[in-house]
């Protein structure tokens, strides 16, 4: 009988040491054999994407930082509010145009 090295559900081949290790489908799970994360390139990609999203959020003109003064926070809140209203109006107009006959 030949055993194929497929592993069972809940096992993953470690990208670092090549041994099969128990895992719970999480890229951050640790290898039983070498103690490194089982995600490998997937984990790196996931972390990179999360960092990118955070960066985009912080680059947003009305992103409220802990270090902002109350005045700046108020201005940014207003900015976010008017931006939301603006998007709502654009969406409404787009809907109107689509709903109009002819």
CA angle 41, 43, 45 (to 5 degrees): 70
Distance of CA 69 to the CA centre of its chain: 29
CB of 5 to Zn ion, least distance (A): 15
State which residue, 40 or 79, has the beta carbon closest to Zn ion.
40
Q: Which residues pair with 61 in a beta bridge?
A: none
- Using CB under 5 A, list all residues that contact Zn ion: 14, 16-17, 31, 33-34
Q: Which is nearer to Zn ion, 16 or 73 (CB)?
A: 16
**Of the two residues 34 and 90, which places its CB atom closer to Zn ion in the complex?**
34
Do the beta carbons of residue 39 and residue 28 sit within 8 Å? yes
In angstroms, give the least distance from the CB of 33 to Zn ion: 4
């Amino acid at each position: 009988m030949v055993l194929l090295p497929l592993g069972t559900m809940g096992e993953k081949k470690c990208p670092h040491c090549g041994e099969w290790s128990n895992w719970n489908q999480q890229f951050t799970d640790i290898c039983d054999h070498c103690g490194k994360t089982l995600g490998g390139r997937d984990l790196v990609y996931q972390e990179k994407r999360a960092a990118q999203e955070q960066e985009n959020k912080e680059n947003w003109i009305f992103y409220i930082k802990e270090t902002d003064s109350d005045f700046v926070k108020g201005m940014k809140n207003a900015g976010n509010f008017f931006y939301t209203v603006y998007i709502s109006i654009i969406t409404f107009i787009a809907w109107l145009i689509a709903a109009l006959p002819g």
